[in-house]
Amino acid sequence: MSALTFAIFAPIVGMIAILFVKKEEAEKAKTIGFLTSLVMFAACTYVAWQCFHIPEGQQYVLESKALWIDLGGSFQVHYHIGVDGLSGMLIFLTGLLSVCAALASFTIKQSVRGYWAMFLLLHCGVIGTFASLDMFLFYVFWEIMLLPMYFLIGVWGGPRRIYAAIKFFLYTLFGSIFLLAGILIVYFAVTAEGSGFTGNPFSIPDLTDYALAMKGSGGILHNFASSLSWIPTAVFWGMFVAFAVKVPVFPFHTWLPDAHVEAPTPISVILAGILLKLGGYGMLRINFPLFPEVLADSAFIIGTLGCISIVYGALVAMAQTDFKKMVAYSSVSHMGFCLLGFASMTSEGMNGAILQLFNHGTISGMLFLVVGVVYERAHHRDLNRFGGLMWRMPVYATISSIAIFASIGLPGLSGFWGEFLSFAGSFKGLYSGAKIITVIATLGLVFTAAYYLRAIQKVFLGKTNPACEQFPDLDKREFWMIMPLLVPTILFGIYPKYLIEIYQPFVESFMTLVAKVGA
Amino acid sequence: MDHLLIVAARDNAPVDYLPVFILLLLAVVLSVSQLAISWLLGKRVETNEAKDEPYECGIEADGHAHTRFSVKFYLVAVLFILFDIEVVFLYPWAVHFGGGVPDGVVFETRGELLGFLFAEMAVFLTILFLGWYWVVKKKALDWEEA
Amino acid sequence: MNEWNIGLAMPEWILAISALVALFLDARTPYHRKEGVGNAVWIGVIVATLWSIMQGFGLDGKEYAFRGRYGLDAFSVLFKVIFGITAMFVMAMSDTWLKRVDRGHGEFRLLTIFATMGMFFVASVEDFATLFVALELITVSFYCLTAFKRNDVRSIEAGIKYIVLGALASAFLLLGIAFIYGATGSLLLRDLASSGAADQIGHAGGALLQFGVLLTLVGLGFKIAAVPFQVWTPDVYEGAASPVTAFLSMGSKAAGFVLLLKVVRACLGPMADSGLAAASSWGALIALLAGLTILYGNLGAMWQGNLKRLLGYSSIGHAGYLLMGVMAFNHAGFTAILYYLMAYLFTVLGVFAVVVLVNGLTKSHRVDDYAGLGRTNPFLALVLTCGLLSLAGVPPLAGFFGKFLIFRAVIAKGTVVAYSLAAVGSLGVVVSMYYYLCVVKRIYMHEAPENGPMKTISGISRPMMAVLWICLIGIFVLGFFVQPFMSLAEQAASALLAG
């Protein structure tokens, strides 16, 4: 069993252990859950470490492959997993956030066993999705994530939790049906007579190689040549919708504020920190490599969507009085940078977008923890009813300010690099109109600074609100749940080279895939 | 193939359906003629007491239209139909048993045919009598008690 | 083929004999001592099912009995096992349910085994006469079963609706059979598949045959609750006792599909070029019905506050998905249908097992009254949730692979009609997810009202516990270990296509 398989199924083992915990000893579930997340973190770190040493000429490490479903003919679904720098980095992020979220989950008092079981199942789905190299397996893990999330929001969430949970579920399911249809159409196209495809029709590496080989001669769906030439475009956009719902991109984002506001703090952390990354990851792993030509044709639309997400998200965030909702909308805005970077199809843009995936994970995770801390003391999140926390909770205020400044993109903190490189890449983007779109998108930065500074002012500065007089500062647990995220924020802000190094092979191969098409 | 049931239908000429058409014609003629006769011979009156009756049969209607009948009537009716139909089934069987089927068509010898037919009827009657026994034991035929 | 070979029908003989023994015992025992009847029925069904499994192991190609009017192949064996398991699960449920009823225990069990026997015959049908008799044996038993709660207005209503519409359907079916007989001169299904009949379908002269096939499909459409013959379903599902509804939704529906597949297969003809499959209008017709059935079932279910009614509508939706497989008209499509039905077996019976237990406590089928089930009865809630999610098609549960195979078969057709149907089906999946989640939401996210009837259910009988566990495990096994069941379905589909 490879370390990767271990990382995927360790949470399942923990979950089964929790199912055997007796009702009277429900607290044990907490211990098991936390220990499992520590084990998971160790495994994820090991996996990520391996990605620094990918041997020459090999794209993935820790690969394992076993036949899972054989429906005859070429319809063979494999349990095929492996990581490259991109997925390794995101798996590390998952491990990191799972520990923080586990620490934050200690305050959950209701149905403890169920909570931890779902919490662990969610991580199995997430790590599995990141590790899958088989499209069908990817889809199955993708869907496995949905249910625990639905329950975590719906059972342990806020007052409108049920509405938010169903909305989250239906939006994602709606998208993923397009993904499944896309997988099937690709399967039928590449296995049809005369496609010239010899690999496994579900294998992501095989299909990516095929896409590279067929570049300039119709792409992987060239079988649909004349009368159905719209099909590759339709499949591309279908898959795009599936991932865009998760990112979330502008017209599909409305589930996000609801889900975030209602979800308990640790779940918000995972939602913003990991699940949103899955959308971007899916685009990078499946959507774009399989259809580089369609990507080149659609770059303008994707860039525009990114731009709208950035500006619109920032503007809506500015109008919020709810601290958490503001952070939620800031996520919409910040994930827009990724799209902007993707659309540029330049090396800088890709670097920026991928950096943004990781850094937004740590920073937004931190922000949601910060909001959770204050919510637990005040039991509300109204920005207008705080004030002067700097004097009551100095440690908390310092950490929060670092998180917020990182999110604004202050140089020296990790958020800066993602935004900077995305913009730099986008400005020299290969599609017409890239410059105008980039310029408009920079407006988003101004708005971002505006709402965050206003939040700092309302919450931390000024006269201490009498209601906040008695708030204690961070206790040990709270301090240590934020710390693991604070360290990389500062570390990668000063020295982002480690991050860039780990996923650089991916960017290089991706650039060769899209390069000729764009030129 | 089973010669008991297969008829070479596609070789049939329309003339083979003549009896059916005659039957149809008879039905139409009968119903039309009855209506016609009553229209020709009857005395035409707009309305009167007798005509307003639900049944113009001379006996005055009595009681409400929605009277509930005892379920016993239905029970007896259902059982009657059941056993009636099953008795009907005995007739074609008897025809075959009496030599309706030529030898060598379904079975090689007459003895085999008779043996089969007898066994079949034995099974059928066993089931029938078991059902009847059940009905009796359930007191479905007990008018007084059930 | 011309052999009598009556030993081949041993499972049916076993069922018949145990049914007669049960009948005899029922006649001789007083009201409250019907254990003997129950035992006879149980033994009969178990032995018949085991015998079918054994037959399946020794089976080589296709064997005939009763001079070619009864056939046994991998397809029939698979369905006999499915029907046998269904009957056992239903009997476990009815044992639990009958404790709440003070009379008619004997009759209920007798009717169950009669219907099971009809289903066993259905799986082996080789001609239209047997088809009709076997189907009537099932249907007539269900007329009585649906109206079984005779003091309950809804049950009576269900019985009346079912008998009126069922009789109408039977009339259609019979007329269709008459037309087919008139056109081909034979009642044997395989004669319909002969080249002569296929020619007839292809040409204008085959109007008689085409009309016959159409009427037959109408008759079977009632049984499987396909639009536009679906109106009875929600009322009957709601009114009938829960074990009966479970039997109806699995046994009766599967039996309808067995016959539908056999008739469709017969219409395919020896050469697919000249058979029904060639006539794209048939495919389009079935596609249209499938699409409408999916939409009607799933959209209708959205507004239901009664769980059994909801399941009734959702069962219409599932009939639509199965029809999608029929529309594919090929091996992949038939395989998908068989897998779907296997998955449906564990899924829907698991759901109904929980419904039976909960109804015993709350005396209600309202979705609202399931609030708090997750807290009071975590295991039942788990089974119900997994069942509903499997019905909705969430991977990696059993129902997902059923749906997936169906979609695969349809998309492989590659025509515009097929793509549109797949799109409608996808829409149905999203809609169905909504209403299933609404039930799940009640279970876990709403608290039971204070002093409400919802509390921990104790004293679940052993067979019932076994049903719950088997269904739960089945839901996961058919989702994870697709391979063995897939090869079963493929063998059965091959046997069906071989004729």
Q: Which chain C residues touch B if contact means CB-CB below 8 Å?
A: 20, 23-24, 26-28, 67-69, 129, 181-188
Structure tokens at A277: 């990354």
Residue that is written with structure tokens 């539908």 in the block: C260
Give per-residue burial for A42-70: e unless 16+ CB within 10 Å, then b: bbbbbbbebbeebeeeebbbbbeeeebbe
Chains contacting chain B through 3 or more C-beta pairs under 8 A: C
Mutate to test the interface with C, among A76, A78, A170, A177 (most CBs of C within 10 A): A177
pLDDT at site A101: 92
Q: Given pLDDT bands bounded at 50, 70 and 90, which one contains residue C14?
A: very high
Determine the distance in angstroms separating the CA of A23 from the nearest CA of chain C, rounded to an integer: 11
Partner-chain residue, chosen from B7, B130, B131, that has the shortest CB–CB distance to C185: B7
In this predicted structure, the answer to whether residue C64 has a pLDDT above a threshold of 80 is yes
Which of C396, C407, C444 is facing A155, going by the closest CB pair?
A: C444
- Is the pLDDT reported for residue C278 higher than 60? no
Identify the top-confidence range among A188-192, A321-325, C83-87: C83-87
Residue of A71, A139, A143 lying closest to C486 (CB–CB) = A71
Q: Token pair of C235, please?
A: 């009322």
Amino acid type, A306 = G
Question: Which of C133, C186, C194 to substitute to test the interface with B, most B CBs within 10 Å?
Answer: C186
Whether the per-residue pLDDT at A517 is higher than 70: the answer is no
Q: How many CB pairs under 8 A join A and C?
A: 67
Minimal C-alpha gap between C21 and chain B (Å): 9
- What is the C-alpha to C-alpha distance for residues C324 and C326, in angstroms, rounded to an integer? 5
Give how far the C-alpha of residue C335 lies from the chain's centroid of Cα atoms, to the nearest Å. Answer: 16
Domain boundaries, chain B: 9-137
Short-list A4, A314, A243, CA closest to A128: A4
Cβ contacts of residue A451 below 8 Å, gap of 6+?
A314, A317, A318, A320, A326, A330
Q: Do A181 and C422 touch (CB under 8 A)?
A: yes
CB C242 within 8 A of CB C93: yes
Cβ–Cβ below 8 Å for C411 and A143: no
Q: Which of the residues A173, A186, A188, A221 would you substitute to probe the C interface, choosing the one with the greatest number of C C-beta atoms within 10 Å?
A: A173
* Chains C+B touching (3+ CB pairs under 8 Å): yes
What are the two backbone dihedrals, phi and then psi, of residue C125, each rounded to the nearest 5 degrees?
-60, 135
Residues 6+ apart with CB under 8 A from C473: none
Identify the pLDDT of residue B93. 85
Q: Which residues on C lie below 8 Å from A139 (Cβ)?
A: 395
Sort strands A61-70 and C63-65 into parallel, antiparallel or unpaired.
unpaired
The predicted pLDDT at position C134 comes to: 94
Output the average pLDDT for chain C: 88
d(CA A375, CA C282): 63
**Tokens 């360290």 belong to which residue?**
A487
Residues of C420-451 as b/e, b for ≥16 C-beta within 10 angstroms?
Answer: ebbebbbbbbbbbbbbbbbbbbbbbbbebeee
Rounded CA separation A61/C283 (Å)? 48
The share of chain A scoring above pLDDT 70, in percent, equals: 98
Which residue type, as a one-letter code, is found at position C124?
S
Chain A nearest-CA distance from C67, in A, is 36
CA distance B31 to B24: 11
With CB atoms and an 8 Å threshold, state whether B5 touches C186. Answer: yes
Contact assignment for B10 to C185 by CB distance below 8 Å: yes
Instruction: Determine, for residues B133 and C24 on separate chains, whether the beta-carbon distance falls below 8 Å.
Output: yes
Out of C430, C446, C483, whose CB is closest to A177? C430
Digit-coded pLDDT (tens) for A439-452 = 999 888 899 999 99
**Among A477, A491, A456, residue whose Cα is nearest residue A363:** A491
CATH for B9-137, among 1.10.443, 1.20.140, 2.60.40, 1.20.58?
A: 1.20.58
| Nearest-angstrom CA–CA distance, C64 and A89 | 63
Query: What single letter denotes the amino acid at residue C126?
Result: E
Is the pTM higher than 0.95? The answer reads no
Q: Which residues from C are below 8 Å from B127, CB to CB?
A: 20
Report chain A residues whose CB lies below 8 A from the CB of C437. Answer: 150, 166, 169-170
Q: How many CA atoms lie within 13 A of C83 on its CB side?
A: 37
Axis crossing angle, helix A292-318 with helix A497-518, rounded to the nearest 10: 130
Q: Which residues of chain C lie closer than 8 angstroms to A72, CB-CB?
A: 490
Note the pLDDT tens digit of each residue in A71-119.
Answer: 777 788 899 999 988 999 999 999 999 999 999 998 888 888 889 999 9
Give the percent of chain C with pLDDT over 70: 94
Q: What is the mean pLDDT of residues A15-29?
A: 86
Of C27, C182, C185, the CB nearest to B133: C27
Element of type H or E holding B80: helix B71-95
Enumerate the domain spans of chain A.
Answer: 292-519
| DSSP per-residue string spanning C190-225 | HHHTSHHHHHHHHSGGGHHHHHHHHHHHHHHHHHHT
Q: Which residues contact A463 (CB under 8 A, 6 or more apart)?
A: A387, A388
> Does residue C413 register a pLDDT over 50?
yes
Option in A154, A169, A180 nearest C433 (CB): A169
Phi first, then psi, for residue C62 (nearest 5°) are -120, 135
Residues of B within 8 A of C24 (CB-CB) are: 130, 133-134
% of chain C residues with pLDDT over 90:
52
What confidence score (pLDDT) does residue B145 get?
A: 61
User: Taking CB atoms and an 8 Å limit, are C490 and A174 in contact across chains?
Assistant: no
CB within 8 A of C7, min separation 6: which ones?
C65
Going residue by residue through chain B, which has 146 residues, state the pLDDT in tens, using 9 for 90 and above. 344 444 444 455 567 778 889 999 999 999 999 999 988 988 777 777 777 777 777 777 777 778 777 888 888 888 888 888 888 888 888 887 777 666 556 666 777 778 888 888 899 899 888 988 998 888 888 877 64
Inform me whether the pLDDT recorded for A430 exceeds 50. yes
Looking at residue A212, its pLDDT comes to: 84
Residues near C367 by beta carbon (within 8 Å), at least 6 away in sequence: C304, C305, C306, C307, C310, C438, C439, C442
Report whether C433 contacts C399 (CB < 8 A): no
CB atoms within 10 A of CB A233: 15
Contact B131 C184 (CB under 8 A): no
Distances (CA, A) of A482 to A37, A91, A470: 16, 19, 22
Quick check: C392 pLDDT over 80?
yes
State the helix-helix crossing angle for A85-104 and A497-518, rounded to 10 degrees.
130
Question: CB of C407 within 8 Å of any CB in chain A?
Answer: yes
- All chains having 3 or more CB pairs closer than 8 angstroms to chain A: C
User: Tens of pLDDT along C307-327?
Assistant: 999 999 999 999 999 999 988
Subunit contact B137:C28, Cβ cutoff 8 A: yes
Q: Does C331 touch chain A (CB under 8 A)?
A: no
Asked if C404 and A180 come within 8 Å (Cβ–Cβ), the reply is: yes
Residue A180 to chain C, least CA–CA distance (Å): 9
C488 interface with A at CB cutoff 8 Å: no
A195 touches chain C (CB under 8 A): no
ipTM of the shown complex = 0.85
Q: Would the pLDDT of A298 be above 90? A: no
Q: Is C482–A188 a contact, with Cβ atoms under 8 angstroms apart?
A: no
**Closest-CA distance of chain B to residue C78, Å:** 28
Which long-range CB contacts under 8 A does A231-236 form with residues at least 24 apart?
A231/A185, A231/A189, A232/A291, A232/A293, A232/A294, A233/A294, A233/A297, A233/A298, A235/A181, A235/A182, A235/A185, A235/A186, A235/A291, A236/A287, A236/A290, A236/A291, A236/A294, A236/A295, A236/A298
**Chains in contact with C via at least 3 Cβ–Cβ pairs below 8 Å:** A, B
Query: Nearest-CA distance from C259 to chain B in Å?
Result: 21
Interchain touch B–A (≥3 Cβ pairs closer than 8 Å): no
Inspect the interface and report whether the beta carbons of B5 and C184 lie closer than 8 Å.
no
Rounded Cα gap, residues B45 and B41, in angstroms = 13
C184–B9 CB contact, under 8 Å = yes
The verdict on a CB contact (< 8 Å) between C185 and B8 is yes
Query: Which pLDDT band holds residue C269 (cuts at 50, 70, 90)?
Result: low
**Calpha distance C473→C475 (Å, rounded):** 5
